[in-house]
Structure 1
């Protein structure tokens, strides 16, 4: 029995690492919290809390009666500014911002980094960095796909209020129908 439990634990540990995919690891990205749980439901909250590297399509599979109309899975994976007020960064126009991406399971696709207005879920600047052959399974992932810098454009007053704008890393692996994203709240 003990041997079976160890084998089961090892299998579960392996499964948890193979279902993970990618996130921004720096600067601080949006995290799940109580506002996210209230808006998107406890099943989606549990899924994202246990594996922040997952994709939006996986979240969609857990939409249920607890999921409110305000849950926007294709805006920062549904993660909310209300849970991340202490993570807001401040950048100035022309500032170079280093971005680190952590990929745990590659899938060939396209990726980019843009500035998104969270009120409209529209790109207002960018892409600031594009990767046309992103995180390919056909070759080693080049260092410039996981460690690069973006230059913050002049955005006027559009991003002067915390929670209004995010730096969004977006990766679409169309061949397997999976989309990943991370958001960094910032002001200018």
Structure 2
């Protein structure tokens, strides 16, 4: 990340895993000749695939993935989990799950489905995510009152050859606050 994003951006991400994306352009502005193409801050907070190659997760079409989020400071707003094309930073298809209102800080206790939910890998990806680095599964949350964006991503691959749907497979993903995701296959 340091090579593409610079030391100040990398330090911001590493110092506070709960950091929101809006802080990052300020850090990037301090870097002479900052290259936004090499470090797309609004794609997984600028975290680089090359730094995470050893953690690429392989999913099958139709596979159910359990996600757990730790939300230490709730900010009400919309949230979604989507498959993102990393070349264009656009969603492929519809969100896997979405909430119009998520992490509402006015509630005494957040609903259980805000911190523990399942998504299903689409069966319609074809070869779009067959190569590692082409796609991520992105958890995206925007706190409307705070005007802050939080993102976490899973580097993933869905082999095109995996034509069979895998029913009722459980995979757990822990969302570490708002940092990179860690995945543990059960």
TM-score normalised by structure 2 residue count: 0.79
The one of 84, 99, 112 equivalent to 1:143 is 112
Q: Does 1:174 align with 2:174?
A: no
Larger helix share, 1 or 2: 1
Find the residue that maps to 1:163 and give its secondary structure. Answer: coil
SS at match of 2:151: strand
Q: Which residue of 1 aligns with 2:68?
A: 100
Structure 2 residue corresponding to 1:48, chosen from 13, 18, 30: 13
Shift of 1:55: 0.4
Quick one: distance in 2 between partners of 1:143 and 1:126?
23
RMSD: 1.0
In 2, Cα distance between equivalents of 1:60 and 1:143: 33
**Secondary structure in 2 aligned to 1:120?**
coil
Once the two structures are TM-superposed, the CA of residue 68 in structure 1 deviates from its matched residue by 2.0
Match of 1:184 among 131, 136, 154: 154
Which protein has the larger Cα radius of gyration, Structure 1 or Structure 2?
1
Give the C-alpha shift of residue 41 in structure 1.
1.1
- The 5-angstrom pairing of residues 67-106 of structure 1 reads 67-69=34-36, 70-106=38-74
- Structure 1 stretch 146-155 or stretch 66-75: which is displaced more? 66-75
Matched residue, 1:8: none
Instruction: Give CA deviations for 1:95-117 in whole Å, capped at 9, x if unaligned.
Output: 10111111111111110100000
1:63-95 CA deviation, whole Å, 9 max, x = no partner?
Answer: 122532321110111001000001111111111
Question: Structure 1 length as normaliser, TM-score?
Answer: 0.78
From 1, 20, 31, the equivalent of 1:65 is 31
